[in-house]
Amino acid sequence: MPEQVESSPKLNVSSEIKSPTYDLTKFHLKRILSNNSKCKSITLLGTFPDISETDAAIVVFEKNAYRESDVATEVPADQEADSSPKPSYFSTDLQVRTDFINNIYASFQCVPTQELCTVKGTVIYPATEKHIEKYSICQKYIINETPDLYESITLPYITSSQFSLDWVYNILEHKQETERIVFEDTHPENGFVLLPDLKWDGRNVETLYLLGIVRKRDIKSLRDLNASHLPLLRNLRESAKQAILERYGLNPNQLRMYFHYQPSFYHLHVHINPIRNDAPGIWCEKSHMLDTVINNLELMPDYYQRASLPFVLYEGNKLLELYDKQLEVRQVVAQELSEADEAPEAFTDDEPEEGRECKRIKLSTPQKESNEAELLEMPCA
């Protein structure tokens, strides 16, 4: 059995946490990249002028999800009598302003205690053009990537322009973020590190979001996977589920485990979150369930070297420019239907069975050019 290491339960308290080189209060806004009302988040582009007038900085503010303990109205039995009460929305600190009251309906603006008003902040500094593209609102296009297109367009592009992976290697080599590691399997071939994604605050289990980063450094994405990686994928699935059950008490059958394609960085990693949480990037054009990936490789050892994989590209992405040059993905070509391509007539209630049978034949038989003799032989032409 490979040696397995599990970290301390405390995720956000460590002497290894370093102070940032910038002062967040001195951020200077240039423009808003996105404002997501559904996720209650806003993404800002700017600088830290006290450090550099030119280096771009991205700041993301996101309102935290509600925790069940924050709406409790009774003191838990295990809470000591002399301990300070936990913050609650239903306390004397709650400020309430009435918008309207109409019969049984009422609307209020509520300001809870300061401890419950925290906002999660994420900073990328210095940010590259690729980071700015990623966080900007723009037009999107679906690319149906064949194996040939991957080899001729995608692979050369990601080889020459991907993000630096130094931060990933720092985690794997315990140079950074060791205090955030939830679980670790040190096996060189089948091992991985499990730790919180930047999108999770590390506290609220309702919005749990973990990344499982594999130790092998020669797997960029789904495209590199084959049957030889099945032991790794199975170990990742089972060990991560067990670690999350023991650490957070979450039922393994309520976890969503999936890969992104294209991924945000090209070192194989799996995303893990509860199925009740609408996490970003879970949609069909982006995510590939770990169970499905394993099943595909069991059925066909080189499945991901032979399959066409659709993915989304954003306006402004240089990879989109390369695909548009070859496939003209931005251009809409209007197609005119010929008479032969027109949809067959629908059945009507008053139509005799002979007429319906004729239409069934037309629906099930491919169109072909008919000569005069064939037309004469058709009883319902």
CA–CA dist 228, 179 (Å, integer): 32
Q: How far is CA 56 from the centre of its chain?
A: 24
Bond before 305 cis per omega within 30 degrees: no
CA–CA dist 196, 180 (Å, integer): 7
For residue 184, report the phi and psi dihedrals to the nearest 5 degrees: -145, 135
CA–CA dist 1, 184 (Å, integer): 13
Instruction: Give the total residue count for the chain.
Output: 381
CA–CA dist 125, 28 (Å, integer): 13
Contact 128, 163 (CB under 8 A): yes
Active site residue 269: yes
Angle of helix 290-299 versus helix 230-248 axis, rounded to 10: 160
DSSP summary character for residue 107: E
- Among 260, 269, 271, 288, the active-site one is 269
For the beta carbon of residue 298, count every other beta carbon within 10 angstroms.
12
Contact 257, 157 (CB under 8 A): no
Q: What is the largest CA-CA distance in the chain?
A: 99
CA–CA dist 192, 233 (Å, integer): 10
Burial zone of 128 (CB within 10 Å; 0-12 exposed, 13-18 middle, 19+ buried): middle
Just list the catalytic residues: 269
